[in-house]
Amino acid sequence: MRQQNLFYDEDDIFGRLCSLKALSEGFKAVKRNHGSPGVDGITIEEFESSLKPELNSLKKELESWRYTPQPVQRVEIPKPGKDAGVRLLGVPCVRDRVVQATLKQLLEPILDPKFSNNSYGFRPGRNQRQAVEAAQKIVRSGKEHVVDIDLSKFFDRVHHDRLIARLGLFIPDKRILRLIGLTLRSGVMENGVKAATTEGTVQGGPLSPLLSNVVLDELDKELEKRGLEFCRFADDCNIFVGSQKAAERVMGSISRFIEKKLKLVINQRKSKVALSKYVKFLGMTIITGAMVISAQSINRAMAKVKELTPRGTNLTWERTIENLNSWYMGWSAYYSMTQYPSQLRKIEAHVRRRLRSRLVDQQKRKRNLLKKLVKRKVPRPLAARTSYSNKGRWALSYTRALHLAYPNRWFIEEMRLKIRSNEHHHRWFNLDQWIKVT
């Protein structure tokens, strides 16, 4: 039975888009997601200050077909990893985000039920953890060989005509298709110069994730037709087979399908055929059927800790701790899916050592360090040997004297670090783990 609500009328989607009620719901979604202003410089707060006239204006423009999406503001975000390049994002104006968010709310209930059960990205009720768990289940069934396909600049290379044609299979309202076409071709503004967009769906708009699933659902259907087991999260797709020979055969045939039929490009340098223990999927690796944080993700976390605890910083202790908390809470919440908690403890221990190293660095002279250690109840002979050992700050941070002076518990009791450990394993240096690991 079709769900009865504001956003379910496949015969007159455009009419519902032009209602103040729907546009108001779209604005609420935009406000929840925050975000920077677009090329017009209008913030969400400024838009909200005159919300009723703004929505009325949008409604009239849409109804009369005077609405024209403005170019998106080009933003470059560094990709994680050394020499990884940048990710090109686009920030639409708030009013255009409202239209896109409303379109998403109208179209998602129609399109999402038609998507594959093996697709987990940008879908209500689905997430990365479910995708990794599904991959783990497949590997445990005996299909340990992975076809790891990486799409080169996927969002920038979506073929507009193919996307609209695919949407037309599910959306009967041609006015909606025309409006989406206008949005796709709105252009980008970079350094004050407007450039046309003849392909791609710009990352950063509320509608882009849904459109990406429309494009890649065609790949999902092809894989299902061939009887292949796979997991896809956005443009990250892993196909699981039982042998190296089968994996190589699938890599060849699916690559041809993607490039010839979908008009997308395979990143040959990053795509590979390998055992699951050598493949990273959403930051995780499946080794002998267990989920672990990938080596690349661990290395990036260690580099992030170093970035947040630099030498010679002018940041106060409180601000340093605040920055660490902000990052670690999100990072550990996601990677808590690891089945080896020692990986989290490794990062926590690294943070503590970086902080101890900073404490050493604050004592400019050896005698100052000696006084500080003695004051922290370290036996004087041990404090003296440590202070005058000619070791550097990093080596000193791992000595027994520094651990006695600043034990794991001290970072909680004295520095008032937040302790959070709930059913989702959100945590910041959980006290029990601090006691176990140095």
Report which secondary-structure segment, H or E, holds 375. Answer: helix 366-375
Residue 428: predicted pLDDT = 41
Angle at 92 between CA 86 and CA 95, to 5 degrees: 165
Q: Name the DSSP class of 433.
A: H
SS3 188: strand
Q: Tell me the per-residue pLDDT of 357-390, one tens digit each, with 9 for 90 and over.
A: 999 998 889 999 999 999 999 999 999 999 999 8
Q: Is the pLDDT of residue 419 over 80?
A: no
Q: Is the pLDDT of residue 262 over 80?
A: yes
Residue 117: predicted pLDDT = 95
d(CA 352, CA 330): 18
Among 191, 168, 189, residue whose Cα is nearest residue 111:
168
d(CA 153, CA 67): 29
Average pLDDT in the chain: 87
Residue 6: predicted pLDDT = 44
Q: Tell me the per-residue pLDDT of 23-59, one tens digit each, with 9 for 90 and over.
A: 999 999 999 998 889 999 999 999 999 999 999 999 9
State how beta strands 229-233 and 86-91 pair. Answer: unpaired
Percent residues over pLDDT 90 in the chain: 70
d(CA 340, CA 107): 40
d(CA 303, CA 179): 44
Tokens of 308: 């947040």
Q: Tell me the per-residue pLDDT of 220-261, one tens digit each, with 9 for 90 and over.
A: 999 999 999 999 999 999 999 999 999 999 999 999 999 999
How many C-beta atoms lie closer than 10 Å to residue 421's C-beta?
A: 16
Report which secondary-structure segment, H or E, holds 342. Answer: helix 342-362
Partners of 194 in beta bridges: 189
Residue 329: predicted pLDDT = 86
Confidence of residue 413 (pLDDT cuts 50, 70, 90): low
SS3 202: coil
Amino acid at 186: S
Tokens of 225: 């037709």
Among 203, 182, 185, residue whose Cα is nearest residue 194:
185
Q: Tell me the per-residue pLDDT of 140-161, one tens digit each, with 9 for 90 and over.
A: 999 999 999 999 888 888 999 9
Q: Tell me the per-residue pLDDT of 171-209, one tens digit each, with 9 for 90 and over.
A: 989 999 999 999 999 988 888 788 888 888 878 889 999
Q: Is the pTM here over 0.85, yes or no? A: no
Residue 431: predicted pLDDT = 31
Residue 416: predicted pLDDT = 54
d(CA 261, CA 278): 29
Confidence of residue 430 (pLDDT cuts 50, 70, 90): very low
d(CA 174, CA 181): 11
